[in-house]
Amino acid sequence: MTIHQAAPVKDDVASTLLAYRDEFVALRRKLHSEPEMGFREVKTSALVAELLETWGYDVTHGVGKTGVVGTLRNGDSHASIGIRADMDALPIVEATGLAYASTTSGTMHACGHDGHTTILLAAARYLAETRKFSGTFRAIFQPSEEGGAGARAMINDGLFDRFPVDGIFGLHNWPGVPTGQFGFRSGPTMASVDLVIIRVIGKGGHGAKPAQTVDPVVAAASLVLALQTVVSRNVDPLETAVVTVGTINGGIAANVIPDSVELKLTVRTFNEAVREQIKARIIALAEAQAGSYGARVEISYPRGYSTLVNHEQETAFARQVASRHFGERRVETDFRAITASEDFAFMLQERPGSYLFIGNGDSADLHSPRYDFNDNILVDAARFWVHLVQDYLADRNGKNPTLSAEGSDAP
């Protein structure tokens, strides 16, 4: 892939998308008021599919349960690109007081996936109505990003075999970053997350007769301290990792030694080798610590999301698209690494691509009951997808995207 350098030129993408704006703001607010949780995005995915069909897409429903893929072909090129948006909401009681707040109590779009879905729909409409590209554009709407690994569900359902793409891209709005500012980062960008459940099993009894018991409370307490050495003593100091013991539960009365104590941990890393190293150390420490007190452990270590690793070339290309069409001042090249997790990581393990960020301005944080997606970024984010699709396909077709694209209205 070539990275083209050029001065910004003028285009009509922004004016067309601006003309759609009110319609898409209304759509975003409708999605916000009718949130659906992971793998239950029935109304949402039906609405997405219906709109894509209206605009002339080939639409496949039910990819990874409630996922939707819309395909738009134009010209004779074999080049292809996929853009992914997530559709699911969170189990949160909304406290925004907005006119379009959730009408489903206990379910809320508190991560802006209503916005991500709307952004991709707006871009999809523009691309279908203008058809200024040669190749295949796939709009991928995934279910259950919030813990349900909907990206993996789509991949396991044959996403990239049935709907091949040369590259895959996604974005997340980011509170605290100026409205519409683009952020790019190459390499490890978001953390892996693993949940660890350790049950320390002793032998309960009377609190006054500890010698007749195997006390799991003491063994668990010792284990909590030992776990603090995993990051400080085992992991390379130049790597980033987190081991947090978030819960410790056991016992019901001061004068009773319980049979067992349960610990729950969250583990975050930016490197799969470190992730494996930490897993091995936690298991070894738990067994040895418990064993030294005559107790034993049962460990459940379900794998969560992998580290999200952005591909260097695709990230550089996407960054170039942003600076070409929005100007260098709107682009942050070395965006921070984030200890939150994101299942787009699984898509980036299958195809080259990049996950980028767009500032949501001064809003409440993601997953806050007071969060709301910033509608003022809809047009620019959709415009970025349009330019990325046009420029990426032009580049795959051996054309200089700065010449084939309509250009830019960047400052």
For the residues of 23-88, what is the DSSP string, one character each? HHHHHHHHHHHS--BTT--HHHHHHHHHHHHHTT-EEEEEETTTEEEEEEEESS---EEEEEEE--
**Largest pairwise CA distance in the chain:** 83
Which listed range, 10-18, 106-114, 133-141, 291-299, lies at the site for Zn ion (CB under 5 A)? 106-114
Exposure of 52 in the CB half-sphere (CA atoms within 13 A): 26
Nearer to Zn ion, 111 or 151 (CB): 111
Contact 109, 373 (CB under 8 A): yes
Nearer to Zn ion, 111 or 123 (CB): 111
Contact 163, 234 (CB under 8 A): no
Q: How far is CA 409 from CA 7, 16, 74, 95, 384, in A?
A: 11, 12, 25, 38, 12
Exposure of 254 in the CB half-sphere (CA atoms within 13 A): 0
The residue whose Cβ lies closest to Zn ion is 111
- Quote the least distance from Cβ 340 to Zn ion, whole Å: 7
Give exposure, 223-262, as e/b (b: 16+ Cβ within 10 Å). Answer: beebbeebbeebbeeeebbebebeebebbeeeeebbbbbb
- Quote the least distance from Cβ 118 to Zn ion, whole Å: 14
Which listed range, 41-49, 108-116, 157-165, 319-327, lies at the site for Zn ion (CB under 5 A)? 108-116
Contact 285, 227 (CB under 8 A): yes
Contact 159, 69 (CB under 8 A): yes
- Quote the least distance from Cβ 239 to Zn ion, whole Å: 25
- Binding-residue total with Zn ion (CB under 5 A): 1
- Quote the least distance from Cβ 303 to Zn ion, whole Å: 19
Does 111 interact with Zn ion (rule: CB under 5 A)? Answer: yes
- Quote the least distance from Cβ 406 to Zn ion, whole Å: 31
- Quote the least distance from Cβ 86 to Zn ion, whole Å: 6
Nearer to Zn ion, 9 or 337 (CB): 337
Which listed range, 40-48, 104-112, 180-188, 228-236, lies at the site for Zn ion (CB under 5 A)? 104-112
Residues 329 and 182: their CA atoms lie apart, in Å, by 9
Nearer to Zn ion, 231 or 308 (CB): 308
Nearer to Zn ion, 145 or 395 (CB): 145
Which listed range, 109-117, 183-191, 253-261, 283-291, lies at the site for Zn ion (CB under 5 A)? 109-117
Nearer to Zn ion, 173 or 213 (CB): 173
Nearer to Zn ion, 111 or 231 (CB): 111
Q: Hey, is 125 helix, strand or coil?
A: helix
Nearer to Zn ion, 151 or 200 (CB): 151
Which listed range, 105-113, 262-270, 287-295, 387-395, lies at the site for Zn ion (CB under 5 A)? 105-113
- Quote the least distance from Cβ 343 to Zn ion, whole Å: 9
What track of x and - describes contact with Zn ion for positions 30 through 69 (by CB under 5 A)?
----------------------------------------
Which listed range, 26-34, 103-111, 307-315, 345-353, lies at the site for Zn ion (CB under 5 A)? 103-111
Residues 326 and 320: their CA atoms lie apart, in Å, by 10
Residues 111 and 268: their CA atoms lie apart, in Å, by 20
Residues 389 and 181: their CA atoms lie apart, in Å, by 19
Residues that bind Zn ion (CB under 5 A): 111
